[in-house]
Amino acid sequence: MQINPGSGYTFTSSASGHNLSINDTWSTWCEYPIDEADKHPFQVTDLGPKTVGGVTTYWFTVQPGLVNNLDPMIDGTSWFMTHVPKSDYEYVYYQWVFDPTSNFSWIVLKLGYDSATDTFPDSNTGHVSASPSYPVVASLSYQPTTDNTDAYLTIAKAYQDPTTKVITISQYVTGSLWSLRVRFGTSAALYYYNRI
């Protein structure tokens, strides 16, 4: 076994075994400049309001996570969740989309089944915003219905108080995922998810 020396670590090998010594301090894995201590894959964090031209909108971010080793994309963009911003403009922020009656917003992970290649989730990045869909994260004003082609997993649900505008988040997914689609004959497809 051979590992070449690198920055911040050493590697030694002998008849007794191998030793990898890492001398650098812990490196943050958190993508955003937010308190890392409580962050995990798919963690939804409210960023508060932003007012431009007298119009106030509310924003949030989702900590990057994987599903079947695929990096989901952000709805409405060509960016993956792990997009590294070159400027503040490119930070991966999402706008809350609240139902005007119930005041709820659903943060969902959409996964598509590609029948042409018999692949779930669909791994073709050209299928974003299509059906079937490459994995994508979105904020919706309704809870979508899963069908034989597209599966929707609610990552989190948020409620905005209509008076105070305070947003309360209920987090449902707390790690990266492995998903499975099962369908027998003409029965409805079933979807299973494991946290990894």
Q: What is the pLDDT of residues 76-129, one digit of tens each?
A: 666 777 766 555 555 567 889 999 999 999 999 999 998 888 899 998 887 776
- Looking at the domain assignment, is residue 13 inside a domain? no
- Report the 10 Å Cβ neighbour count for 15: 4
Q: How large is the average pLDDT for residues 130-156?
A: 90
Token pair, residue 131, equals 């059906």
- Report the 10 Å Cβ neighbour count for 22: 12
pLDDT of residue 32: 45
Q: Which residue has the higher pLDDT, 39 or 152?
A: 152
- Looking at the domain assignment, is residue 25 inside a domain? no
- Looking at the domain assignment, is residue 56 inside a domain? yes
Range of the domain at 58: 31-195
Q: Which residue has the higher pLDDT, 160 or 132?
A: 160
Exposure of 20 by Cβ count < 10 A (0-12 exposed, 13-18 middle, 19+ buried)? Answer: exposed
pLDDT at 148 over 60: yes
- Looking at the domain assignment, is residue 10 inside a domain? no
The DSSP 8-state label assigned to residue 53 in this structure reads T
pLDDT in tens, 14-62: 777 776 666 655 544 444 444 555 688 999 999 999 888 999 999 998 8
pLDDT of residue 109: 94
Q: Which residue has the higher pLDDT, 12 or 196?
A: 196
| Amino acid at position 22, single letter | I
- Looking at the domain assignment, is residue 118 inside a domain? yes
- Looking at the domain assignment, is residue 12 inside a domain? no
Token pair, residue 194, equals 């494991």
pLDDT of residue 31: 46
Of 71-75, 147-151, 191-195, least confident by mean pLDDT is 71-75
pTM score of the predicted model: 0.75
Q: Which residue has the higher pLDDT, 172 or 61?
A: 172
- Looking at the domain assignment, is residue 188 inside a domain? yes
- Looking at the domain assignment, is residue 26 inside a domain? no
Domains of the chain: total:
1
Q: How large is the average pLDDT for residues 128-137?
A: 77
